[in-house]
Amino acid sequence: MCGIVGYLGNEPVYEKVIKGLSRLEYRGYDSAGMAYIENGDLIVKKCKGKVVDLENVVGAVKPLSHIGIGHTRWATHGVPNDANAHPHCSGDGSIALIHNGIIENYATIKQELMNRGHVFLSDTDTEVLVHLIEDVRNAEGVSLFEAVRLALSEVHGAYAIVVIDKSNADQLIVAKKSSPLVIGIGAHDDFYIASDATPIIEYTKNVVYLNDDEVARVDRKTGLTIVNIDNQSQTPYIQALELRLEAIEKGGYDSFMLKEIHEQPRSIEDSIRGRVNLKTGLIKMSGIDEHEERWKTAQRILIVACGTSWHAGLVAEYLLEDFARIPVEVEYASEFRYRNPIIYPTDIVIAISQSGETADTLAAVELAKERGALIFGVCNVVGSSISRATHCGAYTHAGPEIGVASTKAFTAQVVVLYQIALSVAQKRGVISNERTTRLMAELGSLPLKVEQVLKTNALTESIAAIYQHCSNALYLGRGYSFPVALEGALKLKEISYIHAEGYPAAEMKHGPIALIDENMPVIVIATEGASYEKVVSNIQEVKARKGQIIAIVTEGDKTVKGMADHVIEIPRTDDSLVPIVSVIPLQLFSYHVAIMRGCNVDQPRNLAKSVTVE
Ligand code: F6R
């Protein structure tokens, strides 16, 4: 949450900052701002709203400065307004700072600073930090670099910051703790700073991911210098980016969300490629192979995640218990970390996160690590904090997901978790070769099946047109389809602002059935499989109360077709793989309803893509 960018180089900063902020806008879009040095003055432009509003504030005369910083905000402390927008400045206006994270002890520091005469113009924790830096610099008579380091040693919380000083147009100071930050090193002594690599990829492939508790200085004359919070010099580790520019552009689609829904045949294929060997019947996953004994002897697996990733975790619970016969507990990372959980050193903890930056999931990982568990990460963003904090893992190869609502990341997560479950089952010797071979072949056929489901787009759109004005919706599924019901409901509420609930189909009669009347769409995943007949009974219960049924059924289904108001057919596959196929029409349904209601599907209100605060 919050996107930050910085540039120091030989070209005008304005375009770099605006473009960078547009790429990072998925991280928050409550306000936008920038600061740059021109003719010895530190100029700050900022406003409530989006990057396009910032462009209007700057107006026709663009700054020519070659150094600057920019910010796009997801509000934590203080409402979204002009005053709370970043950058924030020191009392004397000489330093400006942008920040992603939360300064937890800001209230105490603010009080102390106010006692010393500091006056604050915003409600933010960030403004406190820039005043603290100013205070330390004046009191100690040290450089800005040193003042930032000393100030940060008084701070509790999470931060990625970039600081610019009016009296030095040749340097930026950068620091990080628990919020992501990457520094790109260009070919011409130019530096690009950003919350993730998307604003950088166009200019350079050489990047340094700053570690927690590191403070860096980028300087035209001296280059990149890094120290830790104890002032020990650190050697920058330069890595090559693998990201492609096309992957972060809309590619002819109206929205990132629609593009990402349609990318799923490819992202699923990429998440399988190189792992499944149909000839040998084996699955190769280094994070499992390298810790084979731990997986063989584990008494329990804990899965920690949030939101959509948590739904993928629920599917994994069914898979791991079904295939590998290991007890699994799936935890909301935010609950897990605060309830003194029982974690045995023999446990394996799987952390699932698209961004790899979710603060609660990262904290759950740290906690489980301290207690001796083996931590396996399933992340999409290479080099992200969670992927670095885990002992081992497997990346989902979904490519950058920019739409705030997770779509292709979910299916890629389930695909990777599927392979984990099969691989562990093989290692533990609890699955027959015949079953593995059949399931592997089914898995391999998914990209084509998903391609086929995407053809239901027009039908789904026509159903969405009928229900676009509804106020509530119920999603029902059973077994492997229960997590899909949760995921379908989450998609609808987050992008169309319609209240929606996901339920295990059989639980409906224990309460939610009271909600059903002729205005209530009930979306049921009623594919063939173990609980098909039970779900058919649930459909009848809904129809008896005049509810409107939209059913996702297996192709050729006749029974449900005779009862439901609308059916969307999906290709036949194994029960365990249905979530990957059945979630697609639910994604499309939410997308169309949201578009028809005039909602911004890529940037739904109040949300941000990467939740780096608790
Ligand atoms: C919903 C959505 C969120 C994320 C959640 C976890 O569409 O995207 O619920 O799934 O914030 O994010 P990651 O997976 O990045 O840890």
Give me the DSSP letters along 199-213.
Answer: TTTTT-SEEEEPPTT
Alpha-carbon gap, residue 281 to 437, rounded angstroms: 6
**Atom 3 (ligand 1): residue with closest C-alpha?**
307
Query: 228: pLDDT confidence band, cut at 50, 70 and 90?
Result: very high
Nearest CA to ligand 1 atom 10: 308
Can you tell me the mean pLDDT for 520-544? 95
Q: Annotated catalytic residue: which of 16, 45, 50, 609? A: 609
The amino acid sitting at 563 is M
Give the pLDDT score at 245.
81
Residue-wise pLDDT tens digits, 65-78: 999 999 999 888 88
DSSP 3-state of 231: coil
- For 76-154, strand residue ranges (E) read 88-89, 95-103
- Spatial distance between the Cα atoms of 206 and 226, rounded to a whole number of angstroms: 16
Question: Given the CA of residue 410, which atom of ligand 1 is nearest to it?
Answer: 10
Rounded Cα distance, 34 and 250, in Å: 25
Q: What pLDDT score was predicted for residue 281?
A: 82
Rg, Å, the chain Cα set: 25
pTM of the model: 0.86
Which residues contact residue 435 at a Cβ distance below 8 angstroms, ignoring those fewer than 6 apart? none
Average pLDDT value for residue range 226-253: 90
Please give the number of the atom of ligand 1 that sits closest to the Cα of 610: 15
3-class DSSP state of 282: strand
Give dist(CA 196, CA 98) in Å, integer.
15
Based on the residue annotation, tell me whether 455 is a catalytic residue of this protein.
no
Q: How far apart are CA 460 and CA 454, in angstroms?
A: 10
The residue whose C-alpha atom lies closest to atom 16 belonging to ligand 1 is: 353
Instruction: Give the model's confidence band at 1: pLDDT under 50 very low, under 70 low, under 90 confident, else very high.
Output: confident
Rounded Cα gap, residues 6 and 164, in angstroms: 9
Ligand 1: centre distance to CA 316 (Å): 16
Residue 429, token pair as written in the block: 């010797």
404 CA: nearest ligand 1 atom:
8
Please give the structure tokens belonging to residue 576.
């365990």
What's the gap in Å between 296 CA and the centre of ligand 1? 30
Question: Distance (Å, rounded) from C-alpha 218 to C-alpha 225?
Answer: 7
Cross-strand pairs, 521:
548
The answer on pLDDT for 608 being more than 90 is: no
If we measure between CA atoms, which residue out of 21, 14, 26, 4 comes closest to residue 59?
Answer: 14
- Among 74, 352, 357, 611, the mutation site with the greatest number of ligand 1 atoms within 8 A of its Cβ is 611
Hey, is 393 helix, strand or coil? strand
Active-site choice (2, 306, 379, 599): 2
SS3 382: coil
**Ligand 1 centroid to 370 CA: how many Å?**
25
Nearest to 530 by CA among 576, 582, 488, 476: 576
Per-residue pLDDT reduced to its tens digit, 142-184: 999 999 999 999 999 999 999 999 999 999 999 999 899 999 9
Structure tokens at 144: 């800005």
Rounded to the nearest angstrom, the distance between the alpha carbon of 602 and the centre of ligand 1 is 14
Residue 178 DSSP class = B
Nearest C-alpha to atom 5 of ligand 1 is from which residue?
307
The winner for highest mean pLDDT among 336-340, 413-417, 607-611 is 413-417
SS3 129: helix
Confidence bin at 582 (pLDDT 50/70/90): very high
Q: Pick from 256, 337, 355, 492 the residue to mutate for probing ligand 1's pocket: most ligand atoms within 8 Å of its CB.
A: 355
Specify the ligand 1 atom closest to the Cα of 413: 14
Active site residue 609: yes
- Annotate 423-455 with b (16+ C-beta within 10 A) or e (fewer): bbbbbbeebeeeebeebbebbeebbebbbbbbe
List ligand 1's pocket residues with C-beta within 6 A. 306-309, 353-355, 358, 361, 405-406, 490, 494, 610-611
If one counts every other C-beta atom within 10 angstroms of the C-beta of residue 93, the result is 12
pLDDT at 368: 97
Please write the tens of the pLDDT for every residue from 558-577: 999 999 999 999 999 999 99
**What is the reported pLDDT for 251?**
83
Give the DSSP H or E segment for 182: strand 182-185
In the reported structure, the alpha carbon of residue 130 is separated from the centroid of ligand 1 by a whole-number distance in angstroms of 31
CA of 263 to the centre of ligand 1 (A): 18
- Alpha helix stretches (DSSP H) within 393-479: 408-427, 433-444, 446-454, 457-467
- Ligand 1 center to 193 CA (angstroms): 24
Calculate mean pLDDT across residues 85-89. Answer: 98
Q: What are phi and psi of 578, to 5 degrees?
A: -55, -40
